[in-house]
Chains A and B, each alone.
Chain A
């Protein structure tokens, strides 16, 4: 099955992307300058909740340094990286209706539920718009059972570009590979890429030809439609133009792409592709939905035979199954950090200009009212965030406040995110970014 060149990327491509920027940013010393300073953000949303006991070091009740603390077993793979880690406990999402999942509300900071369409843009999309421009401003990947990923290779549950405008996440690594690296692919993927390329060019021509006779008032609006194809085709051209560069970052296509033994084979490959999109500079915002925002999901490749809803009904602390899943997540986080660390950028590495936000679309557990919404940050986004510490908040500030902090760090002068003053009176004891987490 072929996939859209840009399905899942939100409402817009970078309108005037510069290939040289893509080439320059990872490898050369580009001085910080306004929003041209390379920055990127990764959201990792594990479903079923994130129990604070599985991330807060034992005995740690108050805010403080993690230097002398030992991370709990579920996140033990992060132990070597705890100087970059910031564990935040005590945000809330009471207004997001997170029981089972807040769906779009998790990243939107508004009420969400099964079947409820997004009511506003989500934070990942908003950040993708304001971070330095890349070829593909926003990439969403979703990990699920193999059956769900094959039957529903794209799904929209977590990210949105506006009210009623869901952003689709990719779950079939073959399709995603074709989208990102079709130009340097071989074999079947190459053939599909070429067929699709040809098709899209013809569609663009048709669309353009049917726009010639339009009245002036409509032609501008219709031009946006035609322009969409031009952008999609242009993206492919631009990716093609930097194929030598991409080759350095594109993952090897192995047999697990077409013949996965477990769903985790695809999870790993999706992550590879997501990481490569960051390291190659194709994108600056990556959203990872492990469990795809819903209350199911499978990890048979970890030896977890139970799947889906049952996992959410289990207590997470000291649960061998959840230790496996959380450690798997943590190893993924380590992979992202190591990959970004390996690419020089400015006077340091890509990781220096990156922030990873790890949390759950389900707050702290599956059946929750959202009174506590634990979050882990990794990295500091050019020193914007504190790291190596644990912060205990009082439960009176919403996840929206964290999102407003992210926007601040991305250079936006905002005090709130998706929360008007009236709502804030009830749900936010403060205003502006979370001073406890910003450096």
Chain B
């Protein structure tokens, strides 16, 4: 494939009108002539990423002069942007250079009608800008764009999956040596293992949350660690009283919730407030490990007979920890920490036992002798200062702050570099890397034994362990599910704050927190659907995109329903009214009849007191009950009429076999999330795959309406592999506030030329989803007019895909058949499991992974195995990949 083929066919019209300098940066034009650069490219070979010993004047300045200045010169520059005096990269012009980098990397520039730029020239210029921005910005927050997963697609897809030009030289790939901070969810799940015993996997109920699954977010979407809720058998009050009285601590480590991949190794650290709070939580955890609920309750609260402590539970205790009753059954793990604390006195053996247990429980590897001795000394010193209990607790708390309890190292400090400067991970680093690729809890016995026996040192070792774990359903692998959450972004719906009026207009229940609860339930349901498809492991991406299956709660009958037209709504309301009137009439008649019978019977009894036998009394009672039942029935009918029935939605018939979804522990009394679900079939012709489920649709909506741009961006990036430059900071991203215009009409502003350059990549891909409203209900009307669901796949990179679509379903059907979409999916899987963006040197890894996926009939397991046995996963270098490696 040649460089020229990679240049997208952009209309020059897109660059005619410019409003601002920043707007111009989106679309600055290069000059028409590039002969000089073409000839220089022909003469060179190039290893992408290698340091460029080129200065501004002779290289970048010349590039600008050759390609840019004609249009962006001093006189009447395009869009008012002159690059004439841009000069070498510095702090002041870094923003401009950043945009130049994006435009060149994305091949937006030079436009095809301006010049043909060789692949090598483009890469060199792009790499030079990255090097320079990294150097200049080193002490000013750094330059990270090229590491941002949302910009992973800035690497040309066809260079990764097609043939490379001859001048490009690749080197064997690897990932940088690094430390990887655990995510909040990993951290909470890790801590949870210390104080809660999760149920073992039950193959009969595979969807129930079990040991090895993550600690999920609670009823409100908050990630918390709960203490002792598995022993609470009684509490006072309702939902909020329960939530207030139980002990829980929120996630301590912070993480910015954003669309896309949530965690690369270089994203996060641990700040001082987090560190000190970890120490406090450690105190709570160690005491709970030692004493169980006694550490948070009075002794009398622990009984299997709540009635026996009625004298203690006097008055209104709602919301108080003393309102709780704990069973006597010990369910927490009893560990060497318990052993240390339960007995009087201290021995080195017991302290060491607790230290070594806790160290491994928190870092997932045994301590070295040095580490063990260090912590032993700390605990002993603390005990000397504070006495056994407080001292042991304080001393052991320090282990929670060990580097390896918060960061997972991949430092390859031991092992010999290969000729390319790469060192293969081995032993614990490799074992934990493999474990972390799939799991949040510590390695199981087999993996642990393999590491200790020196059987985690080769590619085959990794393949063996990965395949073993993938084949065993009882070994929970929440990291795989997390990948799908990151990739699809279907888990954000509960966090999208909705305007109540706008929400009510969608047809769903807008009262209280009903919608948000439904969305958290929907996330758990979609999780389960993903798991079911993974279990089949055939054509995974295609299945996810096109399945007609739905994992649903009762509430989903509304969310998967169809919004009725006003006429239909009126008709449904009238019919309901008629039916209710009929029902009322019948019930009234029945009541009247029952009363009449009762009166007659009473009259008869009164008239014949001698016949007042036991049998007659029973008859009387039966007739009284009949009256009472008839009254109740009538009252129920009236109540139902008073309750606002939802006539605006034609509810979906979601019936099917029962199954379970993984939900949080009891966090809100009886209002906690429930695991029960059904596996149903979505209404035909209305839904197709996850992208048409409310969980995904609402995750890509805003307070008032759909978010067609975000949806389109998702399709562009996650299925088509396209890149979108950042929104220029001066762009007013607001759509006009016109309540009587459709979203499509309001989005006309993005069609203005300088916006459209980017928006044509997104909007036509997002607008087909207008067939759903912003709560995810199927609709045929928008603002009482037939909804326009048309869209277009433009310049996808695969001409077969390009063209107009009637609606989201047609678009999804096309995309689900696309090999390009499959490859882009593989690219995202690569990023998730390698924790970094791909480079051109990863092309062989990506191609192998895609081949494995394809040849296995779309097996995720095959894809994961390929990735986890790749050089990119196994090897580390102590500098950036490709930089240290040999260039030949």
Chain A residues near B (Cβ < 8 Å): 1-13, 95, 97, 99-100, 110-111, 113-117, 119, 145, 147-148, 151-152, 154, 156, 161-168, 191-192, 194-196, 198-199, 202-203, 206-207, 210-211, 213-218, 221-222, 224-225, 227-229, 231-232, 294-296, 298, 305-310, 421-423, 425-426
Contact = CB atoms under 8 A, between A and B. Distances in A.
A198 B381 contact: yes
B403 A207 contact: yes
Contact of B403 (A3, A99, A168, A211): A211
Given A1-B283, A202-B398, A423-B703, A227 B222 contact: no
B695 to A, nearest CB: 18
Contacts of A114: 219-220, 239-240, 243, 668
B269 interface: yes
A295 B283 contact: no
A228 B318 contact: no
A11 B271 contact: yes
B272 A12 contact: yes
B292 to A, nearest CB: 14
A191 B512 CA distance: 50
A65 to B, nearest CB: 38
Contact of B394 (A199, A296, A423): A199
B374 interface: yes
28 contacts: A2-B390, A4-B276, A4-B279, A11-B273, A116-B222, A192-B386, A195-B381, A195-B382, A195-B390, A198-B385, A199-B395, A199-B398, A211-B403, A215-B177, A215-B178, A215-B879, A217-B178, A218-B178, A218-B266, A221-B179, A221-B269, A224-B271, A225-B406, A227-B272, A228-B276, A296-B241, A307-B320, A308-B320
Contacts of B118: none
A295 B254 contact: no
Contacts of A151: 247, 296-297, 321
Given A308-B320, A310-B316, A194 B269 contact: no
B473 interface: no
Interface centre among A6, A7, A111, A294 (most CB of B within 10 A): A7
B423 to A, nearest CB: 12
Contact of A164 (B255, B316, B499): B255
A231 B272 contact: yes
Contact of B386 (A13, A111, A195, A308): A195
B258 to A, nearest CB: 9
A383 B454 CA distance: 72
B250 A156 contact: yes
Contacts of A306: 316
Interface in B235-270: 237, 239-241, 243-245, 247, 250-251, 254-257, 265-266, 268-270
Given A2-B390, A6-B276, A309-B319, A115 B219 contact: yes
B283 A5 contact: no
Interface centre among B276, B279, B320, B499 (most CB of A within 10 A): B276
Interface string B376-395: 00100110011000110111
A211 B374 CA distance: 16
Interface of B: 176-179, 184, 218-224, 237, 239-241, 243-245, 247, 250-251, 254-257, 265-266, 268-277, 279-280, 283, 287, 296-297, 315-316, 318-322, 374, 378, 381-382, 385-386, 390-391, 393-395, 397-398, 401-404, 406-407, 411, 413, 495, 497, 499, 512-513, 516, 667-668, 702-704, 734, 737, 878-880
Contact of A296 (B320, B407, B499): B320
B403 A195 contact: no
Given A113-B516, A309-B241, 15 more contacts: A1-B393, A114-B668, A148-B319, A154-B280, A164-B254, A164-B255, A195-B390, A210-B403, A213-B411, A224-B269, A228-B271, A294-B319, A308-B320, A309-B240, A310-B318
A216 B878 CA distance: 9
A219 B318 CA distance: 49
Contacts of B224: 115
Contacts of B316: 306-308, 310
Contacts of B276: 4-7, 228, 232
B275 A232 contact: yes
Nearest to B283: A1
Nearest to A162: B254
A115 B497 contact: no
Nearest to B223: A117
Nearest to A168: B277
Given A192-B390, A202-B378, A232-B276, A214 B411 contact: yes
B256 A7 contact: no
B276 to A, nearest CB: 3
Given A162-B254, A164-B254, A295-B240, A116 B319 contact: no
A249 B222 CA distance: 39
A161 B273 contact: yes
A421 to B, nearest CB: 6
A221 B403 CA distance: 12
A222 B279 CA distance: 18
B403 A117 contact: no
Contact of A4 (B179, B239, B280): B280
Contacts of B320: 145, 147-148, 296, 298, 307-308
Contact of B398 (A116, A203, A228): A203
Contacts of B397: 199
Contacts of A152: 247, 321
Contacts of B395: 199
Contacts of B179: 214, 218, 221-222
B220 A116 contact: yes
Contacts of B245: 148
A131 to B, nearest CB: 18
Given A225-B269, A426-B499, A215 B878 contact: yes
Contact of B283 (A2, A99, A308): A2
B176 A229 contact: no
A40 to B, nearest CB: 20
A222 B269 contact: yes
Contact of A115 (B401, B668, B880): B668
A97 B270 CA distance: 32
B277 A117 contact: no
Contacts of A232: 272, 275-276
B273 A191 contact: no
A310 B315 CA distance: 12
Contacts of A117: 220-223, 250
A115 B878 contact: no
B385 A225 contact: no
B218 A115 contact: yes
B244 A295 contact: yes
Nearest to A154: B280
Give 7 closest A-B pairs by Cβ, nearest first: A115-B220, A228-B272, A296-B319, A4-B276, A195-B385, A210-B403, A308-B319
A152 B287 CA distance: 13
A203 B390 contact: no
B240 A100 contact: yes
A190 to B, nearest CB: 11
B407 A222 contact: yes
B563 to A, nearest CB: 22
Contacts of B390: 1-2, 192, 195
Contact of A225 (B241, B270, B319, B512): B270
Given A215-B879, A425-B737, A115 B243 contact: yes
Contacts of A99: 512
Contact of A421 (B297, B319, B734): B734
Contacts of B270: 224-225, 228
B385 to A, nearest CB: 4
Given A2-B283, A221-B266, A116 B221 contact: yes
Interface centre among B256, B273, B374, B394 (most CB of A within 10 A): B273
Given A151-B247, A296-B241, A12 B220 contact: no
B710 to A, nearest CB: 14
Contacts of A207: 401, 403
